[in-house]
Amino acid sequence: MNIANLSFSALPAISVPFRYFISANVFLILAALLILFAGEPLGLSRWQPMMLAVTHLFTLGFVSMVMMGAIYQFLPVIGGVGIANVSTVATVSHSLHTLGTLALTWNFILPSTLAQIIAMSALGIGFTGYIFSVIQVLVKKLSQGQTIIGIRLAMLSLIFVVLLGLLFIAQSYLIPYVDIRFIADKNYTDLHALLGGFGWAGLLILAVSLQIIPMFHVTPSFPKWLAKYLPAMLVLLLLLLFVFKPNSVAGQFVIAFVLVLYSVYNVAFLKLFKQRKRKVVDTSVSFWQFAGVSFLALVCLYFFPDAFYQQVFAGNKALLLSALFIYFYLVSIIEAMLLKITPFLTYTHLQNLCLADFSAMSFLPHMHELLLKKHGQVLFKLHLVSCFFLLLTMAATGYYFLFALALLAEFSWLLFLITRSLYLYRICLAKIKNNPL
């Protein structure tokens, strides 16, 4: 264990994670507006350009955006070392990520060479810079915990997801020079989605929750075997899909195995929350439980016969399951985490300033003042409403506008909660700075 670079006070500036959280909400507000104006044809197929645009606003614009922002903050706490030149890395990679996501959305809706080039270069450079910076910390092996191992595997998955994504954008330019015709095979799109959903997002959630759930919710620990073997098994299975293509029979078995394995994790955390010792009402627990139950329902749906999808969801099995996974599962857990992280980060940054001036501790607001409990409860209710309308839209596309409005309301509210916390931070910061030592 190397301690030369160890620094528990290496927190990045508060603007680093918050710019990611704020942008993430703006992207979903944009997605809501896009759905509202795109209208009914949106629900027809996962390959429809507008649907691809909306999907990437969720995955690139929201899910990845929040997770990347949180990693800046999480590494110094869990690994004892922060990212080098963090402000520069964050400014460059966040700006390029934002630009690239916007250009990709634009290219899906109105394909153009310019949009393609901007998307490819901005996402390519942005992700490369970010991944390179995070890997520099992860290879230091400061902590040997399962969480760090899980984050490493999640980053490995992200590398594959980004490479495949860049190849999809670049294929028309590269094919005359390099033989990458294989990329047109829809199996690679499924691989891109599965590695992104379970390898990058799913595994990162799993790895971080190994630490976060038992500590912050005061539950027993996850079973040791689960923490030790599940992350590696998941990644191995996902990589196996490069050999056994997702649409082949063997590939379908591998996917079913991934779903079952990930269900084991979901059952495990649902059980932990049942054993939670704290009796204080906590909306983030409701989000987690909702996500866990939704995932188990999703797995049951996966094994339903195709006739069911023909009758109820116009045969759109893959679209329905992807929507459920992204919105009912990933977005729910990210909201659970944001409800905890937002006041926590605000408080931690203020508290860090008070290490130099202990008397300023009296200015610090409590966690509940930074994010009011009733505000969190409103967010959960808004989420339940938008989930219901999403499901309704999947069954009867004419209701798309209700989902769009619910989405707009939910993420405008979350944006308000985050900016409110940041506003309270600024007020308190001014008090601390004016405090005579």
Which lies closer to other proteins via its Cβ, residue 191 or residue 210? Answer: 210
Q: Taking the complex as a whole, how short is the minimal distance between the CB of residue 352 and other proteins, in angstroms?
A: 9
DSSP 8-state code for residue 324: I
Q: Taking the complex as a whole, how short is the minimal distance between the CB of residue 394 and other proteins, in angstroms?
A: 38
Q: How far is CA 174 from the centre of its chain?
A: 30
Q: Do the Cβ atoms of 357 and 384 come closer than 8 Å?
A: no
Q: What is the Cα–Cα distance from 432 to 353, expressed in whole angstroms?
A: 8
Q: What is the Cα–Cα distance from 65 to 351, expressed in whole angstroms?
A: 26
Q: In this structure, is the dihedral angle defined by the CA atoms of residues 47, 259, 123 and 96, taken in order, positive or negative? A: positive
319: left (phi > 0), else alpha (psi -120 to 50), else beta?
Answer: alpha
Q: Which string of x and - marks every residue 339-358 that binds other proteins (by CB under 8 A)?
A: -x--xx--xx--x--xx--x
Which lies closer to other proteins via its Cβ, residue 9 or residue 311? Answer: 9
Q: Taking the complex as a whole, how short is the minimal distance between the CB of residue 32 and other proteins, in angstroms?
A: 32
From 128-136, 151-159, 338-346, 377-385, give the range in contact with other proteins by CB under 8 A.
338-346
Q: Do the Cβ atoms of 323 and 407 come closer than 8 Å?
A: no
Binding status of residue 48 toward other proteins by CB under 8 A: no
Q: Do the Cβ atoms of 295 and 329 come closer than 8 Å?
A: yes
Q: How many CA atoms lie within 13 A of 323 on its CB side?
A: 25
Q: What is the Cα–Cα distance from 279 to 94, expressed in whole angstroms?
A: 39
Binding status of residue 128 toward other proteins by CB under 8 A: no
Which lies closer to other proteins via its Cβ, residue 252 or residue 348? Answer: 348
372: left (phi > 0), else alpha (psi -120 to 50), else beta?
Answer: beta
Closest-CA residue to 17 (of 342, 393, 372): 342
DSSP 8-state code for residue 423: H
Q: Taking the complex as a whole, how short is the minimal distance between the CB of residue 64 and other proteins, in angstroms?
A: 24
Stretch 8-37 residues interacting with other proteins (CB under 8 A): 8-9
Q: Taking the complex as a whole, how short is the minimal distance between the CB of residue 279 and other proteins, in angstroms?
A: 4
Q: What is the Cα–Cα distance from 303 to 402, expressed in whole angstroms?
A: 29
Q: What is the Cα–Cα distance from 97 to 19, expressed in whole angstroms?
A: 12
Stretch 74-103 residues interacting with other proteins (CB under 8 A): 77-80
Binding status of residue 6 toward other proteins by CB under 8 A: yes
Which lies closer to other proteins via its Cβ, residue 330 or residue 364? Answer: 364
Q: Taking the complex as a whole, how short is the minimal distance between the CB of residue 141 and other proteins, in angstroms?
A: 12
Q: Which string of x and - marks every residue 264-303 that binds other proteins (by CB under 8 A)?
A: -------------xxxx-----------------------
Q: What is the Cα–Cα distance from 193 to 170, expressed in whole angstroms?
A: 18
Binding status of residue 211 toward other proteins by CB under 8 A: yes
Q: Taking the complex as a whole, how short is the minimal distance between the CB of residue 285 and other proteins, in angstroms?
A: 13
Which lies closer to other proteins via its Cβ, residue 4 or residue 307? Answer: 4
Q: Which of 34, 125, 159, 216 binds other proteins (CB under 8 A)?
A: 216
Q: Do the Cβ atoms of 98 and 62 come closer than 8 Å?
A: no
From 42-50, 88-96, 210-218, 250-258, give the range in contact with other proteins by CB under 8 A.
210-218
Q: Taking the complex as a whole, how short is the minimal distance between the CB of residue 428 and other proteins, in angstroms?
A: 13
Give the residue carrying structure tokens 């300023």.
Answer: 360
Q: Which of 13, 175, 178, 215 binds other proteins (CB under 8 A)?
A: 215
Q: Taking the complex as a whole, how short is the minimal distance between the CB of residue 417 and other proteins, in angstroms?
A: 16
Binding status of residue 392 toward other proteins by CB under 8 A: no
DSSP 8-state code for residue 201: I
Q: What is the Cα–Cα distance from 248 to 263, expressed in whole angstroms?
A: 22
Q: Taking the complex as a whole, how short is the minimal distance between the CB of residue 288 and other proteins, in angstroms?
A: 16
Which lies closer to other proteins via its Cβ, residue 354 or residue 385? Answer: 354
> How many Cβ atoms from other residues are within 10 Å of residue 194's Cβ?
22
Stretch 129-158 residues interacting with other proteins (CB under 8 A): 142-145, 147
In the complex, the residues that contact other proteins under the rule CB under 8 A are 1, 3, 6-9, 77-80, 142-145, 147, 211, 215-216, 218, 277-280, 340, 343-344, 347-348, 351, 354-355, 358, 361, 364, 366-369
